[in-house]
Amino acid sequence: MLYALIFDVDGTLADTEEAHREAFNQAFEQAGMDWHWDVPLYTELLQISGGRERLLHYWRQQRPDVQDVGGSGVRDTIARLHELKTAAYEARVGGGDLSLRPGVLALIEEAANAGLQLGIATTTSPVNIAALLRAALGPAWQHLFSVIEDASTAERKKPHPQVYLQTLRRLGRDAAECLAFEDSANGLQAARGAGLATVITPTGYTAAHDFTGALRVLPSLDGCTVADLRSWHKERA
């Protein structure tokens, strides 16, 4: 039986990556840095999960000769850049620049009405999640989800399965009773690492990823119903 649906956020519930890229570039400009992440570069950087981790990875690429004794200087700089980026992203989302991907809202509403549990398993920050879903689903958005696991609760980023394992534990469900929804190879690896069958809806940034092992790869969730999910879940079982 299918009892729960577990959703990633960035790229899955909404196509957020371009807004994130623009927010990073705005942060670099505010900080007086000459960094600029264009689309091809950001596509590569998305292989690194987590905004802070992405910044640190790029820092090390650009400044391999800089020795940071104790590590606090780099950490402080990365933290400041991430604060600026988060504020820029919130402003974009709050301004109505983003909406849920096609079919997402209809599926969430149908699943909730059908009595399925809904969960979020993401390694993005709670602030980013709240900014997006408050604008898309309204101020009571949290009531739709039985469990929300994010960067504040799951220290290990995807592709590590920690966030999914914690979500399953809090839902009180076995992986065989749930489906995961992702948009990237890292997300698929994390979900499968927790034993979850996974439906993939790629974005322009992740279309070239390897999705071997996915339950389904769809252009979007538009037209996808709970009956479809139950049928696919049954096939897998």
SS3 sequence of 124-149: CCHHHHHHHHHHHHCCCHHHHCCEEE
pLDDT value, residue 74: 85
> What integer pLDDT is reported at residue 63 of this predicted model?
82
Catalytic residue among 10, 15, 150, 183: 10
CATH architecture type of domain 4-15+99-236:
3-Layer(aba) Sandwich (3.40)
Question: What pLDDT is recorded for position 78?
Answer: 92
Q: Indicate the residue type of 180.
A: A
Residues of the chain with pLDDT below 50 are: none
What was the pLDDT predicted at 73? 78
* Separation of alpha carbons 213 and 172, rounded Å: 25
Catalytic residue of the set 8, 15, 150, 183 = 8
pTM of the model: 0.91
Domain ranges in the chain?
A: 4-15+99-236, 17-94
Query: How far apart are alpha carbons 26 and 33 in whole angstroms?
Result: 10
Question: CB-side exposure of 167: number of CA atoms within 13 Å?
Answer: 34
10 catalytic residue (yes or no): yes
CA distance 147 to 234: 24
Active site residue 76: no
Contact by Cβ (8 Å): 151, 126: yes
Can you tell me the distance from the alpha carbon of 206 to that of 66, in angstroms, rounded to the nearest whole number?
32
Predicted pLDDT at 107: 98
Identify the CATH assignment for 17-94 out of 1.10.150.240, 3.50.50.60, 3.30.450.370, 3.40.50.2300: 1.10.150.240
Cα dihedral 9, 15, 17, 23 in deg (nearest 10): -100
* Amino acid present at 213: G
Confidence (pLDDT) at 202: 98
Q: Identify any residues that bridge with 189 across adjacent strands, giving them in sequence order.
A: none
Hey, how many other C-beta atoms are within 10 angstroms of the C-beta on 88?
20
Give yes or no for a contact between 198 and 215, defined as CB atoms under 8 angstroms apart: yes
